[in-house]
Structure 1
Amino acid sequence: MLRTLRAVDFRCFSGLSLEIPAAGAVFTGDNAQGKTSILEAVCMLVRLHSPRTRRMPAMTRMGSGSGFGIAGEAWEMERRVRWQGGLDLMVDGEPREGPGTYLADGGLLVWMGNEDLDLVRGSAEGRRRYLDFIGSQIEPGYRTALARYRRALKAKNLLLKDPRPREEEIRSYEEVMIADGSLLVDSRARMVSLLSPRASASQQQVSGKDEALGLEYRPAGGADLRAAMEQARERERRQRQSFVGPHRDDLLLTVNGLSAAEFASEGQQRTVALALKLAQGEALAAARGSLPVYLIDDVFGELDPGRRNAVLHALPAHAQKWITTTHLGWLEESHGLGGMNRYTVKAGEIS
């Protein structure tokens, strides 16, 4: 869990300092006041990841200069992230040379938000990000393999667009894609096996109905990435882009055997999104033997009482929870939030 969180020039906060009990905290306020940014700061501190942007400058407070800093006591370690054109990472006062070493002994996180509905309705890219966020927390070498694969893919695509493609160079990048892509495919297959029974059970628990949620991993290169690239070679050279590999994978979601995106009702789709995130938390705990922290952004106020209470009941009682909401009207009907600090957030100020 996190005991403290401090930030300087992050999003709308010139300064931020919080002490959080083991149970967690509830942050209340209108939209666009800074509530989500608090959870984002936690995500950056723990996983060097923002669910809102890939651009570090976007997280720097407007008009403050060229960087931001986040620090805090997390899992009994003092961790610090500073960005000023590059990342400066420290743990217990000792510098960490790169993200890999910084994340190696970091904690686990689950982010839950209304945008999770895109996991069901949106493109395959969102579902790949869902798997990537899990993989980077529980699979050794996953984050490194993903970064190498993306660099090789970018280089290959640039070469394919050349009027006179250099075949030898293309094939050298394909070798990198095959090596790292195969690791990603194997890891994603293991993750889906870990997630499937847990997501199915969560779907029934949250919906209160006998709904069968199915997860099927569909690797774009099949079981043999090298053979798939050979088969796609002529098409890729003709259309000048890469069609085969983990960057085209998908996770098929079904409810009672039918596509959740096409045939599930809005209520069912929301339940699927919740079930996927609850399953993520259980999978992380099973793989690493410790509970994740749950960052829950403006979810409970949008749920009907039945699903809200089901989700609260499904969350591990001893896990720390950071919750944002625009109002507390729903809180009187729910249980399981005892011992949590409550804060009001207004225009980047917390009381």
Structure 2
Amino acid sequence: MLRSLRVVDFRCFPGLGLEVPDSGAVFTGRNAQGKTSVLEAVCLLVRLQSPRTSRMATLARVGGAGGFGVAGEAWGAERRVDWAPRRPMGYRSDGEERSTQGAYLEDGGLLVWMGNEDLDLVRGGGELRRRYLDFIGMQVEPAYRRALGRYRRAVKAKNFLLKDARPREAEIRSYESVMIESAAVLRPVRSDLVARLAPEVARYQSSIAGHEEGIEVVYEPAGGMDLGVAIEQAAERERKQRRTLVGPHRDELVLKINGLAADSFASEGQQRTLALALKLAQGQVLADRRGTQPVWLIDDIFGELDVGRRNAVLRALPPNAQKWITTTHLDWLEASPEFQELARFAVKAGTVAAEG
């Protein structure tokens, strides 16, 4: 759990300091006032990534010093992340500098992010579902992050070489070796995660919808689990199309409801419920794998849900987990006595003030 959060020149905040109880906090305010940026700062502090951008420069406050800092007491340690242009990102835990992202994350905590954009997990392309699996994988398997980074770099290099009129085969094979080695880490983790996620997604889908629905969550590795064989079989097609056609970067997480593809045949209500079920299942799997509850960052989803789904989600959230929630109104909170102990903050134009 996070006891405190402090930021300097992050997004719209020149400075911010918060103390948060174990139960968590609710941040209220109109849109575009900075509510989501508070959760984003937590995500960066805990997992070193933002759900909104991959470019650190966009997180620095316009008109600020050019960089930013995010710090806080989390899991019994004082943690800090700093970024500035043309300098390596800095990571510290209890004053000790961590040399790599992996070293910083190894004794950190777990995280689930829920937002209205989660509907794209069902409606959108495969990249979004791979990112969903990757976010879980990096939290449960320390080697996953490094393998994913190596794999992405190797695919990028291979694709560059394939665009040459006369591809340099020896170099391509060297990058394929890296791809195969990395896939041997990524794919077993993905396969295991999907096996654990599938029953949980079905359970949450039923509890939120209020009735049984035939939910299928299936992992489909592009080209099969043996990437070496798949690369050999796809070699001619790849040379013709000048791009890499098999591997974890094209894996798919297939979602079906009652035997039909959820993106094409499910109703909007079914799709929205499935998106919620995917995130609730993520939290359950993280807790089961690591033996501790993740922090839940819940970004303004309750205004988009009908009363039935909203109440079902509130009941499904683990009572002993810390929750950071943004919302434009508190109507739902007044009807949820189990959430009354959350601290309340008002967010307006880049300022955060404690309420009652």
Per the normalisation by structure 1, the TM-score is 0.99
CA distance in structure 2 between the aligned counterparts of 1:263 and 1:105, rounded to whole angstroms: 43
Partner SS for 1:230: helix
| Map of 1:192 onto structure 2 | 194
Contact 2:238 2:245 in 1 (8 A): yes
The answer to whether 1:329 aligns with 2:331 is yes
Alignment map for 1:1-351 (pairs within 5 Å): 1-85=1-85, 86-351=88-353
SS in 2 for 1:62: coil
Query: Which ranges of structure 1 fall in alignment gaps of 5 or more residues?
Result: none
Alignment identity in percent? Answer: 64
CA RMSD of aligned residues (A): 0.8
Q: For the residues of structure 2 that align with 1:66 and 1:237, how far apart are their CA atoms? A: 44
Question: Which 10-residue stretch deviates more, 299-308 or 13-22?
Answer: 299-308
Cα distance between partner residues in 2 of 1:71 and 1:92: 11
- The answer to which of 68-77 and 256-265 deviates more is 256-265
SS in 1 for 2:287: helix
Decide whether the 8 Å contact of 1:113 with 1:297 is kept in 2. yes
Deviations for 1:242-271, whole angstroms, at most 9, x for unmatched residues? 011000011000112211111111111000
- Taking the aligned partners of 1:109 and 1:279, their CA distance within structure 2 comes to 13
* Counterparts of 2:14 and 2:32, CA distance in 1: 16
CA drift of 1:331 comes to 2.1
**Alpha-carbon distance, 1:89 to partner:** 0.4
User: CA separation in 2, counterparts of 1:215 and 1:124?
Assistant: 13
Native 8 Å contact 2:299 2:327 kept in 1: yes
Query: Offset of 1:71 from its aligned partner?
Result: 0.2
- Tell me by how many angstroms 1:341 deviates: 0.6
How far did residue 217 of structure 1 move?
0.4
Report the residue type matching 2:214 in the other structure.
A
Offset at residue 336 of structure 1 (A): 2.3
Residue 245 of structure 1 aligns with an amino acid whose one-letter code is G
Task: Work out whether residues 333 and 340 of structure 2, in 8 Å CA contact, stay in contact via their aligned partners in 1.
Answer: no
Unpaired segments ≥5 residues, structure 2: none
Q: Would you say the 8 A contact 1:25–1:322 is kept in 2?
A: yes
Instruction: Describe the superposition over 1:254-301 as per-residue Cα deviations: whole angstroms up to 9, x where unpaired.
Output: 112211111111111000000000000000000000000000000112
- Shift, 1:186, TM fit: 1.0
* CA-to-aligned-CA distance 1:198-221 (integer Å, 9 cap, x gap): 111010111111112210001102
Q: Following the alignment from structure 1 to structure 2, what is the Cα–Cα distance between the partners of residues 223 and 4?
A: 43
C-alpha deviations, 1:101-120, integer Å up to 9, x for none? Answer: 00001100000000000000
Partner SS for 1:148: helix
1 CA distance for matches of 2:103 and 2:223?
Answer: 31
Aligned length: 351
SS of alignment partner, residue 49 of structure 2: coil
Contact residue 285 and residue 291 of structure 1 kept, 8 A: yes
* Deviation of the 1:338 alpha carbon: 2.3
